[in-house]
Amino acid sequence: MFKKVLIANRGEIALRVHRACKEMGISTVAIHSTADSNAMHVRMADESVCIGPPPAAQSYLSVPNIIAACEITGAEAIHPGYGFLSENANFVQIVQDHGIAFIGPTAEHIRLMGDKITAKDTMRKLGVPCVPGSDGAVPTLDEARKVAAEIGYPVIVKATAGGGGRGMKLARTEADIEAAFQTARAEAKAAFGNDEVYLEKYLDAPRHIEIQVFGDGRGKAVHLGERDCSLQRRHQKVLEEAPSPVIDAKTRARIGEICADAVARIDYAGAGTIEFLYEKGEFYFIEMNTRLQVEHPVTEAIYDVDLVQEQIRVAAGLPMSFTQRDLVPSGHAIECRINAESLPDFRPSPGRINTYYAPGGLGVRMDSAIYGGYAIPPYYDSLIGKLIVHARNRELALARLRRALSELVVDGVATTTPLFHALLDEPDIQAGRYDIHWLEGFLAREES
Ligand code: ADP
């Protein structure tokens, strides 16, 4: 097992990884920008290295500085968390070329799934059901017109290199295709430096259901059921739950086995998430994330596993600590993403937190790196905490969530907490009756 791991991230996820390491007797190295000198992930780590100025491009994304931090401290492995360099195949290659272990899949697997067209093609060949669409990239507007007519409107134009909901445009009818095609390309070019796009049939009212998979890199893999992440704003997840209110045990086993089998056949190593849209009983693959997800704690809660420790084990060459038979879900878990943003427009609200009180009690987990007196820097993502509750069933989990939310105090900055209070009052949420558009509709009603 590794003796020292460098955590190439910040905020709650850096702390999450630190905690996993400490329980395994591994010492930790934090990296930070000058804006994060007083951050909790730096305070908690055994050692820390300042790797640059506030802009992420010069610090958390600076590969030479991160490698240097490893060499200075003698860290044997890097955990990337999510975001930043977690899905950067070139980074993984450089890490390995320096004799450092990367806690995650191989560079080849990241590359394979990072290109959405190749990912879809690979998955289709592995027997995973996909959204109907263009076979590969659509290089010209004429071609887009042709393909759209074939698959039938509405269609969605998506960036091959896409992520974070960017570079995605809907064309309801033929009249929209030109604008959708050009804007998606321009957005993709600006965000990813790659303007390649493809077309997919636009599903009208699907749910976003994703399957957690885990592989040992040597042909064995398991699934840990699904997460329902349908509550989204601008294609970004806001609240996640597991299990999904609409997936039964039989369906879970069927799609879970398809996914586990697919990743086993490519010798996938570590944690991965296969994302689907789910409509009228059918699953449609949209993408695979080759990393830990923000919402992984809901899976940890119902399966009683530590996914980060499992990632570390597999990266160190050990076998997985569970088999499919060991993985039996229990109860219901819900996660709320608490952002430092002011409602109703979700404007980022960085600044100093005067008082922070974290909810607690049975079945409550608060993953956060904030503290009273902490100043949230304006340079990074606005996620400041994740509140996760677990209870015997969904109804009890909702009651526990309401109770836990009412205990949470983040004083000094605006947060998205009021949104979750409001959601809990909605009959549709209580009944688990929502699709990927529900939240946008709700927010529009609230504003008017
Ligand atoms: P990203 O990598 O940017 O997150 P995804 O492909 O995972 O992009 O899609 C993000 C979200 O966009 C989905 O959860 C869903 O809400 C919406 N979406 C993507 N593809 C489709 C589609 N074919 N039809 C309808 N909605 C879609």
Of the pLDDT bands very low, low, confident and very high (cuts 50, 70, 90), residue 381 is very high
Q: What is the mean pLDDT of residues 42-51?
A: 98
155 lines ligand 1 (CB under 6 A): no
Are 184 and 214 in the same domain?
no
- 3-class SS of residue 404: helix
Ligand 1 centroid–CA 235 distance in Å is 6
Are 164 and 227 in the same domain?
no
Distance CA 282, CA 95 (A): 40
Q: What is the pTM of this model?
A: 0.95
Out of 286, 295, 437, 440, give the residue to mutate to test ligand 1, the one with the largest number of ligand atoms within 8 Å of its CB. 286
156 lines ligand 1 (CB under 6 A): yes
Are 265 and 339 in the same domain?
yes
202 lines ligand 1 (CB under 6 A): yes
436 lines ligand 1 (CB under 6 A): yes
pLDDT tens track for 56-70:
999 999 999 999 999
Are 216 and 295 in the same domain?
yes
What percent of the chain is modeled with pLDDT above 90?
97
Any idea what the CATH number is for the domain that residue 229 is in?
Answer: 3.30.470.20
pLDDT of residue 119: 96
Any idea what the CATH number is for the domain that residue 16 is in?
Answer: 3.40.50.20
pLDDT of residue 353: 98
* Catalytic site includes residue 43: no
275 lines ligand 1 (CB under 6 A): yes
Ligand 1 centroid–CA 234 distance in Å is 10
pLDDT tens track for 157-209:
999 988 877 889 999 999 999 999 999 999 999 998 999 999 999 999 999 99
pLDDT of residue 163: 81
pLDDT of residue 5: 98
Of the pLDDT bands very low, low, confident and very high (cuts 50, 70, 90), residue 448 is confident
Positive or negative torsion for Cα 340, 16, 45, 80: negative
What percent of the chain is modeled with pLDDT above 70?
100
Six-digit token string for 141: 């507007």
Are 171 and 70 in the same domain?
no
Q: What is the mean pLDDT of residues 367-380?
A: 97
Using CA atoms, how far residue 330 sits from 225, 273, 391, in Å, is 11, 20, 9
Q: Residue 129: CB partners within 8 Å, gap ≥ 6?
A: 258, 276, 282, 283, 284, 285
Q: What is the mean pLDDT of residues 298-323?
A: 98
Q: Which of 140, 134, 186 is nearest to 155 (CA)?
A: 134
pLDDT of residue 162: 84
Which domain covers residue 294, as residue numbers?
A: 207-447
Are 48 and 140 in the same domain?
no
Of residues 135 and 361, more confidently modeled: 361
132 lines ligand 1 (CB under 6 A): no
Of the pLDDT bands very low, low, confident and very high (cuts 50, 70, 90), residue 49 is very high
Ligand 1 centroid–CA 163 distance in Å is 9
254 lines ligand 1 (CB under 6 A): no
Are 53 and 167 in the same domain?
no
131 lines ligand 1 (CB under 6 A): yes
pLDDT of residue 335: 98
Are 172 and 252 in the same domain?
no
Any idea what the CATH number is for the domain that residue 164 is in?
Answer: 3.30.1490.20
Q: What is the mean pLDDT of residues 87-112?
A: 97
pLDDT of residue 161: 87
What atom in ligand 1 is closest to the CA of residue 133? 23
165 lines ligand 1 (CB under 6 A): yes
Q: Whose CA is nearest to atom 19 of ligand 1?
A: 286
Q: Whose CA is nearest to atom 13 of ligand 1?
A: 235
Residue 309 lies in a domain: yes
Whether the upstream peptide bond of residue 54 has omega within 30° of 0, thus cis, is no
**Final residue of a structural domain among 201, 225, 257:** 201
Ligand 1 centroid–CA 313 distance in Å is 32
Of the pLDDT bands very low, low, confident and very high (cuts 50, 70, 90), residue 370 is very high
What atom in ligand 1 is closest to the CA of residue 159? 3
State how far Cα 148 lies from the chain centre: 30
Residue 364 lies in a domain: yes
- Tell me which residue has tokens 């050009």: 182
- 3-class SS of residue 38: coil
Are 250 and 385 in the same domain?
yes
Taking each helix axis from N to C terminus, what angle separates 63-73 and 89-97, rounded to the nearest 10 degrees? 30
pLDDT tens track for 207-235:
999 999 999 999 999 999 999 999 999 98
Q: Is the pLDDT of residue 135 over 90?
A: no
Are 425 and 291 in the same domain?
yes
Are 243 and 367 in the same domain?
yes
Ligand 1 centroid–CA 286 distance in Å is 7
434 lines ligand 1 (CB under 6 A): no
pLDDT tens track for 239-271:
999 999 999 999 999 999 999 999 999 999 999
User: Among the options 291, 313, 365, 400, which is catalytic?
Assistant: 291
Q: What is the 3-state secondary structure (H, E, C) of 178-226?
A: HHHHHHHHHHHHHHHCCCCEEEEECCCCCEEEEEEEEEECCCCEEEEEE
pLDDT tens track for 139-162:
999 999 999 999 999 999 999 988
Out of 120, 200, 235, 436, give the residue to mutate to test ligand 1, the one with the largest number of ligand atoms within 8 Å of its CB. 235
